[in-house]
């Protein structure tokens, strides 16, 4: 386990829209380099960088054309190597985004695989024997290549699935077992890609769709887990300080498979959605725990979370996110105060937390945008970072019609420049919370987590981490709970007081108390 993860706080950067250094309307690596000191000032000591590989950008870079080459619009391999170096000089680690399950259909491997003549790449992807064979349970593209066969795609039609084999083989003529040499060649190639970037200076990988490798397996996906255990063994032997973090959202499985941490994602009915995204299916009303209307149930979250935490304790971490590039920003449902309380809570929880760029200033989800590079409903979360009140909010000097996506210039748009001036802003609040986390091991990734007060359909929620108590009341009403502790408040949003062995929490409040 890389020791640096114990005190890691990540900042996710979507490179297209973070900072444009050359005025072409698209963010780039040199732009990111120019903002490293800003990332450091937040208290973030690690970065997750969304894909920067060469790509036709049908899916914003998650369709990789060449894993060994930085996309021209972002810069060069040397620029990325220099970014690693500059980040390390100020104590920031960088994870690249690894896309192991599929490539672009313009990848040279796939161009060779779709040839009629058999070659070393013929089985790099998954093909049926005949163009007339298209079993309905598979996501296949049919009849568009010279090769007699149809190929499996992982998601979009431009993303042919790499071949790691099938666990349950239903069509023996074209489904290979994971032990087949051609499937093992895919694993070897993946490890070679990882070595290439680790040798250049990256600190590990966030792994896209980490559970999608071996096909036809459900539940705990044992064959996919074998692949990752194999890769973890390589990392432990050759790059023991490198981290891998999975997009899996099943930490009990992914941590056993070898990942150091697993994302807690916005999936239907799971704990993350219960905390921050829940809606009444009939009325559309927000019923998330952190909504001001007070209709959430913290016990629904805890039923799942405590079990996951217990199973992974001492083995790996659970990563809470403020948002990511696939998820509508919390501000779509929450006002700025609700978001401030929710974000602060995330940085006071165990595990390795991630902040999505712009969340630290409460950027809005922009409604009604046309899809960009496969963004669809996700596009409104990917708009340019809002740095200041200059042209394009400081993102780019390009004319507005050249920007990758439009900048939010609405009346209520927020900027780093303005929030730095307001001591009560989301930005300054989160800087305080993260600083306290860094100063106290009990509040970091390994620290314990103990529920002090959590009642079904009630508020507040109170939990303990070492000598610290955190009490949170996101609702618009005053809330009271038993509280047989005394101590000093070291951080607060809103107000709370202790009276007659009860804590009285004023509306929309969060307090961090150091117990005497």
Reported as a pLDDT band with limits 50, 70 and 90, residue 259 is: very high
Given this model, what pLDDT does residue 223 score? 98
How far apart (Å, rounded) are the C-alpha atoms in residues 286 and 326? 20
What are the structure tokens assigned to 303, written together?
A: 């039923």
Mean pLDDT across the chain, nearest whole number?
97
- Residue that wins the pLDDT comparison between 270 and 439: 439
Cβ burial, residue 182 (10 Å; 0-12/13-18/19+): middle
**Backbone phi, psi, residue 245, to 5°:** -125, 130
For 377-403, what is each residue's pLDDT tens digit? 999 999 999 999 999 999 999 999 999
Domain boundaries, the chain: 3-100+183-441, 102-163, 449-515
Nearest to 63 by CA among 116, 112, 110: 110
CB 349 within 8 A of CB 463: no
For 493-502, what is each residue's pLDDT tens digit? 999 999 889 9
What are the structure tokens assigned to 438, written together?
A: 């860094």
Maximum Cα–Cα distance for the chain, whole Å?
A: 82
H-assigned helices in 90-245: 108-113, 181-200, 222-238
For 449-515, give the CATH class.
mainly beta
CB 50 within 8 A of CB 71: no
pLDDT over 90 (residue 328): yes
For 194-222, what is each residue's pLDDT tens digit? 999 999 999 999 999 999 999 999 999 99
Given this model, what pLDDT does residue 500 score? 87
How far apart (Å, rounded) are the C-alpha atoms in residues 194 and 204? 8
| Secondary structure element (H or E) that encloses residue 432, with its range | helix 426-439
Q: CB 399: neighbour CB atoms within 10 A?
A: 11
pLDDT over 90 (residue 281): no
Q: Which residues contact 16 (CB under 8 A, 6 or more apart)?
A: 26, 27, 60, 373, 382, 404, 405
Reported as a pLDDT band with limits 50, 70 and 90, residue 106 is: very high
Q: Which CATH architecture has domain 3-100+183-441?
A: Alpha-Beta Barrel (3.20)
CB 77 within 8 A of CB 200: yes
Is the whole-model pTM more than 0.85?
yes
pLDDT over 90 (residue 459): yes
Peptide bond into 460 cis (omega under 30): yes
Given this model, what pLDDT does residue 232 score? 98
For 2-36, what is each residue's pLDDT tens digit? 999 999 999 999 999 999 999 999 999 999 999 99
Nearest to 48 by CA among 101, 98, 102: 98
For 113-169, what is each residue's pLDDT tens digit? 999 999 999 999 999 999 999 999 999 999 999 999 999 999 999 999 999 999 999
pLDDT over 90 (residue 512): yes
Given this model, what pLDDT does residue 197 score? 98
What are the structure tokens assigned to 441, written together?
A: 């091991």
102-163 — its CATH code?
Answer: 3.90.400.10
Residue whose tokens read 């969060």: 510
Half-sphere exposure of 447 (CA within 13 A, CB side): 25
């Amino acid at each position: 386990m890389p020791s640096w993860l114990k005190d890691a706080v990540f900042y996710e950067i979507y490179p297209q829209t973070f900072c444009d250094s050359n005025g072409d309307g698209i963010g780039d690596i040199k732009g990111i380099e120019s903002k490293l000191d800003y990332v450091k000032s937040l208290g973030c000591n690690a970065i997750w960088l969304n894909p920067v590989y060469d790509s036709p950008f049908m899916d914003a870079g998650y369709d990789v054309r060449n894993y060994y080459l930085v996309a021209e619009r972002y810069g060069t391999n040397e620029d990325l190597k220099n970014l690693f170096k500059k980040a390390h000089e100020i104590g920031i680690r960088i994870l690249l985004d690894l896309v192991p399950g599929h490539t672009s259909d313009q990848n040279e491997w796939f161009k060779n695989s779709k040839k009629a003549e058999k070659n070393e790449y013929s089985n790099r992807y998954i093909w049926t024997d005949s163009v007339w064979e298209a079993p309905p349970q598979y996501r296949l593209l049919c009849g568009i290549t010279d090769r007699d066969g149809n190929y499996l795609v992982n998601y979009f039609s431009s993303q042919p699935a790499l071949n790691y084999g099938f666990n349950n083989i239903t069509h023996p003529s074209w489904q290979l077992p994971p032990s087949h040499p051609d499937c093992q060649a895919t694993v070897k190639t993946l490890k070679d890609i990882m070595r290439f970037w680790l040798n250049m200076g990256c600190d590990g990988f966030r792994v896209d769709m980490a559970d999608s490798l071996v096909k036809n397996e459900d539940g705990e996906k044992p064959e996919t887990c074998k692949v990752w255990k194999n890769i973890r063994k390589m990392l432990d032997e050759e790059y023991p300080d490198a981290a891998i973090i999975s997009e899996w959202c099943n930490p009990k499985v992914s941590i056993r498979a070898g990942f150091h941490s697993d994302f807690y994602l916005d999936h239907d009915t799971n704990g993350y959605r219960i905390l921050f995204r829940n809606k009444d299916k009939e009325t559309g009303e927000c019923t998330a725990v952190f909504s001001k209307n007070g209709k959430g149930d913290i016990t629904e979250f805890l039923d799942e979370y405590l079990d996951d935490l217990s199973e992974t304790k001492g083995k790996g971490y659970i990563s809470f996110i403020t948002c990511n590039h696939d998820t509508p920003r919390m501000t779509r449902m929450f006002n700025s105060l609700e978001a401030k309380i929710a974000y602060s809570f995330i940085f006071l929880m165990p595990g390795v937390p991630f902040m999505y760029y712009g969340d630290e200033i409460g950027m809005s989800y922009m409604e009604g945008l046309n899809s960009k590079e496969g963004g669809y409903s996700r596009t409104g979360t990917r708009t340019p970072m809002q740095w200041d009140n200059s042209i394009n909010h400081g993102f780019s000097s390009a004319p507005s019609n050249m920007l990758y996506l439009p900048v939010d210039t609405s009346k209520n748009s927020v900027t780093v420049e303005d929030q730095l001036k307001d001591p009560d802003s989301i930005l300054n609040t989160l800087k305080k919370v993260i600083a306290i986390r860094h100063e106290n091991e009990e509040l970091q990734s390994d620290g314990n987590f103990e529920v002090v007060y959590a009642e079904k359909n009630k508020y507040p929620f109170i939990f303990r981490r070492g000598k610290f108590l955190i009490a949170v009341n996101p609702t618009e009403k005053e809330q009271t709970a038993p509280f047989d502790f005394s101590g000093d408040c070291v951080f607060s949003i809103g107000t709370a007081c202790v009276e007659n062995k009860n804590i009285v929490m004023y509306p929309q409040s969060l307090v961090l108390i150091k117990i005497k």
